[in-house]
A and B are shown apart, each in its own frame.
Chain A
Amino acid sequence: MFTATALNRRSHRNQSVAKAVFCLMTVALVIPVLLILGTLVVKGAPAISWDFLFTAPTNNMTAGGIFPALVGTIWLVVVALLASVPVGVAAALYLSEYAPDNLLTRAINLAIVNLAGVPSIVHALFGFGAFVLFFNMGASILAASLTLAVMTLPVVIVATRESLQAVPHAFREACWNMGATRWQTIRKVVLPNSISGILTGVILEVSRTSGETAPIMFTGATAFLAFLPESVFDQTMAMSYHLFYIATQVPDAPEELTYGVALVLIGIVLMMNAVSIAFRVYLRGLKKW
């Protein structure tokens, strides 16, 4: 009575095939990541040392360290954050908490999503035209960071808006009914409960910003600079551009040097993502609903 019929057996067979296919796809996804990381670690690790991190390149960039590039990347990321976070969070607050749900709002939302899809080289050319030439900033940290900020703005806006909308509507309603204005509601209830998501978005932005090459190529990054930047109007070296440069323009750079730079760069990005994830887990644990 309870034995398998032919139909049962066929269903089970189909089920096994489906499972195998999905499993295979997952493995196919993981393998390249492991291969890339593995290659980087194996070939790049010998180059890593304190000296490598804290000295400038020497011998036409075929030896020495990456210190100016490391510092430059920090400059670029920090200035980009200062520009994009206030604008992005404020815009998301407006779109999520104030804007009426009409055609214009929807058009703006669509524009933001599309902005996220614009290739980085297009952002680079925009930044060159707008910041370097039109606003006459010249090739500088400021121009490069603003370009990065424009590029990552959609990420900040979307992440912020999503975490704002994850705050239950009942909380807002409770506040409004006690006579709180929208701003009081945002400050006292909405922001404290969405800050984890917003920060996650910001950290993701940092990790993306630190890895981008195209947007800074024409706007502020330079292949070699003997000194560290002193203000936002200086040009600077940057990790990503440094890697691009020694990999393509310096034929006699030793292999381990190139891999070492790549390893540090990906290390920064992965570390940022890890911090972001840890942070999210921690803050989620604090949530009280």
Chain B
Amino acid sequence: MADGERGALNLSTGDFAIETRDLNLWYGDFQALFDVDLGVKKGIITSMIGPSGCGKTTVLRTCNRIIERLGYVRTTGSVHVLGHDIFGDDVEIVQVRKQVGMVFQRPNPLPISIRDNVLFGFRLHEARLRKVARAEEDEVLESALRQVLLWDTVKDRLDKPATGLSLEEQQKLCIARLLPVKPEVLLMDEPCSALDPAGTEAVEEMIWQLRGDYTILIVTHNMAQARRASDECVFMLLGRIVEHGRTEELFLAPEHAETADYIEGRYG
């Protein structure tokens, strides 16, 4: 996590993986998002902080349209992922979700073996188009588990149930599970909040490994985590984006008084 490394990725280009314009969102009569204009740059880690109920998770869940499962949600404005409007008429939601993977607060491995968990999405999307040899599956499996730093821990028990892993390992597995379908964007909704400090550190380390290969948008309640494990940081309050900038600048010299008050812990 050396600071010099961060410079390697150009943070100033306008190349956005996710771009929202005038995004408003209502849960029934309650407006949760107000004119959200957010640009998440490709290949870096962007964190979202803000007090509970400020709309962080809502923004996250809008980016792969999982929010629509709640029937009473209404949105206006646009969300572009990788340059394409995901609310367009000809958009296939399955294709969106392939590109935009999501990790939840509580690890949710399926009650099947570690191998089957990792290969679940791969089999769903790839194995239905062509015959996949066992050797290729093994390759995909190993590569995904290596990327999340889990291979060495689980390589001898790939056929054991995934629910027997520790929470930290489960969370890594849930991330590994997304990788075989080659997503561009990973959304993480407080991925460490169910973990102990050691687990948090391990998962953060792993997320940092993924930086560069994937665009990562991570919601967190933990300001220290946002500070040490993200390139850019977004501060939200009451459904609006208050401030968005490079993480170190936002924490050292916030532009807005609300941001300063929040990161100093005056409310939360």
Contact = CB atoms under 8 A, between A and B. Distances in A.
Nearest to A169: B108
Nearest to A177: B102
Given A178-B101, A178-B181, A287 B124 contact: no
Interface in A154-207: 168, 170-171, 173-181, 184, 188-189, 193
Nearest to B116: A188
A289 interface: yes
A177 B181 CA distance: 12
Nearest to B95: A179
A177 B106 contact: no
A176 B163 contact: no
Contact of A174 (B69, B110, B164): B110
Best-buried of A178, A189, A289 by chain B (most CB within 10 Å): A178
Interface residues of B, number: 28
Interface in B122-173: 124-125, 161, 163-164
Contacts of A173: 66, 104, 108
Contact of A178 (B95, B121, B161): B121
Interface string A278-289: 000000000111
A131 to B, nearest CB: 39
Contacts of A188: 120
Contacts of B177: 174, 178
B174 interface: yes
A129 interface: no
A100 interface: yes
A170 B121 contact: no
B109 A177 contact: no
B216 interface: no
Contact of A179 (B106, B108, B125): B125
Contact of B163 (A100, A189, A289): A289
A289 B94 contact: no
A173 B61 CA distance: 12
B186 to A, nearest CB: 11
A176 B125 CA distance: 13
A179 B121 CA distance: 7
A188 B104 CA distance: 20
Best-buried of A100, A168, A174 by chain B (most CB within 10 Å): A174
A168 B109 CA distance: 11
A287 B111 contact: yes
B64 interface: yes
Nearest to A174: B108
A188 B125 CA distance: 14
A174 B109 contact: yes
Given A288-B161, A289-B163, A176 B111 contact: no
B44 interface: no
Contact of B108 (A170, A180, A287): A170
A211 B119 CA distance: 47
Contacts of B207: none
Contacts of B268: none
Given A178-B124, A179-B98, A180-B121, 14 more contacts: A168-B108, A170-B104, A171-B108, A173-B66, A174-B104, A176-B66, A179-B124, A180-B94, A184-B124, A188-B120, A193-B111, A288-B112, A288-B163, A289-B163
Interface of A: 100-101, 168, 170-171, 173-181, 184, 188-189, 193, 287-289
21 contacts: A168-B108, A171-B110, A171-B111, A174-B104, A174-B109, A174-B177, A175-B120, A176-B66, A176-B69, A178-B98, A179-B97, A179-B125, A180-B94, A181-B94, A184-B124, A193-B111, A288-B111, A288-B161, A288-B164, A289-B111, A289-B163
